[in-house]
Amino acid sequence: MDNGQHKNEAELNEYAIVVENLITYFDERRILDDINVRVRKGEVLVVLGGSGCGKTTLLRHLIGLLRPKSGHIYIKGQDITQLEEEALNEIRKKMGMLFQGAALFNSMTLGDNVALPLREHTKLAEPTIKIMTRIKLGLVGLAGFGDFKPAQLSGGMKKRAGLARALAMDPEILFFDEPSAGLDPIIAAEIDELILKLKRAFHMTMVIVTHELASAFLVADRILMLDAGQVIATGTPGDLKSNPNPRVQQFLNREPNAEVQDDEKYLRLITGKDV
Ligand SMILES: Nc1ncnc2c1ncn2[C@@H]1O[C@H](COP(=O)(O)OP(=O)(O)OP(=O)(O)O)[C@@H](O)[C@H]1O
């Protein structure tokens, strides 16, 4: 390691992301509890886990939106937990992010939404930006929709437009927060196909947060499973299926928590009253 801020050359070449001993609190609650994970260049890592286990919080740390209480996050060898905002912004230019709600600007056309990062972060001439925008929209199957406003699109199309914008700067790492949330199964499968297409075509490093099992098993090279802020399993989809941890198997088999199966007990739990 070089002055505590960089990983050594060999690790830098192999891994796009290295997370070491990441601990985070919200108020008194420990939300991420000693997370360690390495994402190889070109690898698709899916972060899987139930509601509230800390998936989105982990993602927000990886893109530098949150700072941990302790631990390190090396992106391309640089510890982003130690960086000032300006240096962080430089690194973020190499990252694309597809947020849950696609986060498009409703007042702008799709073309302008996709062009936005190029206009903000590059000095490219407008005709070049127009061409690049068209290429990105074509890549996600939205060729010809550049003049549409987000309100004129279906949920799946909005997600794809958000993806086109995430791809605008040709990122080396792409982050997805629940890419299929709120979509019907057929449209969700189209998004999975798109992810696979990007993986094949560009060999891009991707981190995908989801609780959709089918999607996770389809797109992942490796899966990281979180439970109550801790990593309870990592491995290939095959490794996960044969993992003996009962919590892993409970999640994979979609078994409810035993205590919630008792309706009366559950009502007492949420109302605080006897029923
Ligand atoms: N800004 C915040 N302030 C306080 N607590 C928070 C904040 N953001 C998240 N939490 C809490 O941290 C825990 C982890 O939340 P997180 O959103 O990371 O979970 P998740 O696994 O992504 O869940 P979901 O699948 O429901 O989106 C939850 O208990 C949540 O209530």
Strand order in the sheet with 44-48: 95-98, 173-177, 205-210, 44-48, 222-227, 230-235
pLDDT of 275 over the 70 cut? no
Q: What is the pLDDT of residue 273?
A: 66
Strands (E), 157-214: 173-177, 205-210
> Best of 30, 57, 59, 61 to mutate for ligand 1, by most ligand atoms within 8 A of CB?
57
Decide: 44 and 208 in contact? Cβ < 8 Å.
yes
Enumerate residues lining ligand 1, CB below 6 A. 26, 31, 49, 51-57, 211
Q: CB–CB of 213/49 below 8 Å?
A: no
Single-letter amino acid code for the residue at 75: I
Q: What is the pLDDT of residue 28?
A: 87
Containing 46, the helix (H) or strand (E) segment is strand 44-48
Token pair in block for residue 148 = 């549409």
- d(CA 224, CA 135) in angstroms, rounded, equals 33
Residue nearest to atom 26 of ligand 1 (CA): 51
Confidence of residue 5 (pLDDT cuts 50, 70, 90): low
Confidence of residue 3 (pLDDT cuts 50, 70, 90): very low
Of the pLDDT bands very low, low, confident and very high (cuts 50, 70, 90), residue 69 is very high
Ligand 1 atom index nearest CA of 54 = 18
CA distance 171 to 203: 11
Q: Give CA–CA dist 9/60, Å, rounded.
A: 26
How much distance in Å is there from the Cα of 51 to the middle of ligand 1?
8
Ligand 1 atom showing the smallest separation from residue 211 Cα: 25
Place of tokens 């890419």: 179
Cα distance between residue 231 and residue 240, in whole Å:
12
* pLDDT confidence of residue 265: 66
Using most ligand atoms within 8 A of CB, pick from 56, 62, 63, 67 the residue to mutate for ligand 1: 56
Is the pLDDT confidence value at 101 over 80? no
Cα distances (angstroms) measured from residue 76 to each of 20, 39, 85: 14, 10, 17
The residue whose C-alpha atom lies closest to atom 18 belonging to ligand 1 is 54
Query: Which superfamily does 43-52+92-271 belong to?
Result: P-loop containing nucleotide triphosphate hydrolases (3.40.50.300)
Note the pLDDT tens digit of each residue in 37-53.
999 999 999 999 988 89
